[in-house]
Amino acid sequence: MITPDQIIRSDRKTLSVTVDCFGNVTVRAPKKCDEGRIFAFLKDKEAWILHHKTKAEKTDLELPQEDLNGYSFLLLGEKCTITLTQEKFVQFEPQTHRIFLPEKNAKQRLVKWLKENALRIFTVATEKRAREMGTSFVSVRVSSARGRWGSCTHDNRIRYTFRLIYAPKEVIDYVVVHELAHTKYKNHSQAFWREVERYLPDYKVKRKWLKERSILTRIF
């Protein structure tokens, strides 16, 4: 039997259930809805709920705590572990996938380091793909946006959230192609998606990877 982690009652007339990126089950129900009806509803949705809980467990990611020593997160798709040090600068050891992070102002230093590397990586990737796609852009910037992985303005200024650096390079490439396609099509029309597919026939696989790991937008 599915037991919800939270039941939220309101003036709504129908029942709904959601499973977040941690596998927590939340039921939204009418104020006077009895528990018998709620659990019958959950039983009916059991297969769907278990499917999404399993997907959440596969991500194997957690939000950082106050003490970052020993915390692991993804960097370019590879799990990296933080070791706090007395050094003055952030150092990355690719052989062991360890980040040596100064313990003073640790989070701020790490975010600055991530943004600097994200800008470098995203700029190179965008320039390369722009040449292949026969298009151009005004600039590349990184932001701290949580609601979207990337954006392209009407005058072709491209921005990526620095958190995209957590994704594998091939997934980053999808977001790059997506935003560059917007330099040609300022919408999500069929022509836009044909442009994306022209350069990334398997773009739906990359898109799915991002959707299943929405927790990444909440890390740092």
State how far the Cα of 17 lies from the Cα of 58, in Å rounded to an integer: 20
CA 193 to centroid of chain Cα atoms: 21
Q: What pLDDT band is residue 158 in, cutting at 50, 70 and 90?
A: very high
CA distances from 213 to 53, 103, 189, 201, 216 (A): 13, 28, 25, 21, 6
Domain range summary for the chain, segments of one domain joined by +: 6-59, 105-218
How far is the C-alpha of 56 from the C-alpha of 36, rounded, in Å? Answer: 27
Helix (H, G, I), strand (E, B) or coil at 63: coil
CATH of domain 105-218: 3.30.2010.10
- Picking from 2-16, 21-35, 110-124, 192-206, which range would have the lowest pLDDT averaged per residue? 21-35
Residue 28: pLDDT band (50, 70, 90) is: very high
Q: Which of 41, 23, 43 is nearest to 33 (CA)?
A: 41
**Residue 56 pLDDT greater than 80, yes or no:** no
- Lowest-confidence region among 25-29, 115-119, 132-136: 25-29
The encoded tokens of residue 101 equal: 């992070």
- List, for residues 143-154, the tens digit of each pLDDT value: 999 989 999 999
pLDDT tens, 42-54? 999 999 988 887 7
114, 165 contact by CB (below 8 A): yes
Residues of the chain with pLDDT > 70: what percent?
97
Average pLDDT, the chain: 92
Rounded average pLDDT over 187-214: 94
> pLDDT at position 58, please?
60
Report pTM. 0.77
The confidence score (pLDDT) of residue 53 equals: 79
Reported as a single tens digit per residue, the pLDDT across 57-113 is 666 677 888 899 999 999 999 999 999 999 989 999 999 999 999 999 999 999 999
Quote the pLDDT of residue 60: 63
pLDDT of 8 over the 70 cut: yes
Question: Which is it for the CA torsion 109, 76, 159, 19, positive or negative?
Answer: negative
